């Protein structure tokens, strides 16, 4: 894929700066029931698999997804977020590696039979979504299981959308504790739009909308 766009580079910097306070988002009271249900749903989806986790951040989902996996490679571009993930009591199968999800370069020659990304899809520019999925699928074996989960737009829980660009990407203005304000690309896909991006190898995609989150899962042929 091409060089990172300005918005992608800014997103990388934003999450590095936000790392220490990132998990506040997981303590919003109105999201707790959904979170518990999602956490409980992950282990069986990856039981016995060798999984690539994209953009693992502070490892909130790693803890749950990796529980019964055979091997779990948690990747992110930012050492700041992965340092927090590494400090958690994670299953022994978890390893970490710094990887840019737009190239997967360090993973050349390696393959997996599972892939997971939490709250990453929403940050991929719409024009890059299908090529990014194709790149991910190139790292995955036939029969691999892919699971993505991300935020649904819920008026009272999400920041408002402040801008929509010509390609249809939507943006939010986010303020960090130091007072800095960041424009962050955050898309809220429909089931149909998500399915349309998956490509020819995706089999029997499933979409579950559960309140504050959506989950997309499929296997690859």
Single out the residue of 42, 56, 94, 194 in contact with ligand SAM (rule: CB under 6 A).
56
Q: Which is nearer to ligand SAM, 77 or 220 (CB)?
A: 77
Which residue is listed with tokens 């979504």?
Answer: 129
Report the C-alpha gap between 220 and 173 in whole angstroms: 36
Q: What number of helices (H) and strands (E) belong to the chain?
A: 6, 10
171 binds ligand SAM (CB under 6 A): no
Q: In this chain, which of 46, 72, 102, 132 binds ligand SAM, going by CB under 6 A?
A: 102
Tokens of 131: 């090529």
Residue whose beta carbon is closest to ligand SAM: 57
Name the residue with tokens 């990453």.
120
Task: Using CB under 6 A, pick the residue from 69, 78, 217, 219 that binds ligand SAM.
Answer: 78
Which one of residues 73, 90, 101, 194 is an interface residue with ligand SAM (CB under 6 A)?
101
Q: Tokens for 138? A: 């190139």
Tokens of 128: 């890059």
State the Cα–Cα distance between residues 129 and 53, nearest whole angstrom. 17
- Does 100 sit near ligand SAM (CB under 6 A)? yes
Residues that bind ligand SAM (CB under 6 A): 8, 11-12, 15, 55-57, 60-61, 76-78, 81, 100-102, 118-120
């Amino acid at each position: 894929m091409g060089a990172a766009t300005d918005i992608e580079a800014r997103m990388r910097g934003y999450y590095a700066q936000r790392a220490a306070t990132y998990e506040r988002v997981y303590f919003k009271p109105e999201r707790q029931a959904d979170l518990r249900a999602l956490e409980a749903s992950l282990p069986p989806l990856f039981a016995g698999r060798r999984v690539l986790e994209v953009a693992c951040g502070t490892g909130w989902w790693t803890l749950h997804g990796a529980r019964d996996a055979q091997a779990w490679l948690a990747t992110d571009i930012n050492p700041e977020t992965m340092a927090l993930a590494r400090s958690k009591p994670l299953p022994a199968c978890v390893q970490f590696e710094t990887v840019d999800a737009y190239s997967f370069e360090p993973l050349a020659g390696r393959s997996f039979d599972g892939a997971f990304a939490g709250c990453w899809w929403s940050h991929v520019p719409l024009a890059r979504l299908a090529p990014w999925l194709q790149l991910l699928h190139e790292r995955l074996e036939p029969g691999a299981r892919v699971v993505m989960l991300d935020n649904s737009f819920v008026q009272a829980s999400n920041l408002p959308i402040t801008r929509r660009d010509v390609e249809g990407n939507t943006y939010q203005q986010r303020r960090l504790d130091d007072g800095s304000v960041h424009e962050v690309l955050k898309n809220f896909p429909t089931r149909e739009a998500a399915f349309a991006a998956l490509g020819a190898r995706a089999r029997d995609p499933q979409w579950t909308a559960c309140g504050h989150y959506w989950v997309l899962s499929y296997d690859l042929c």
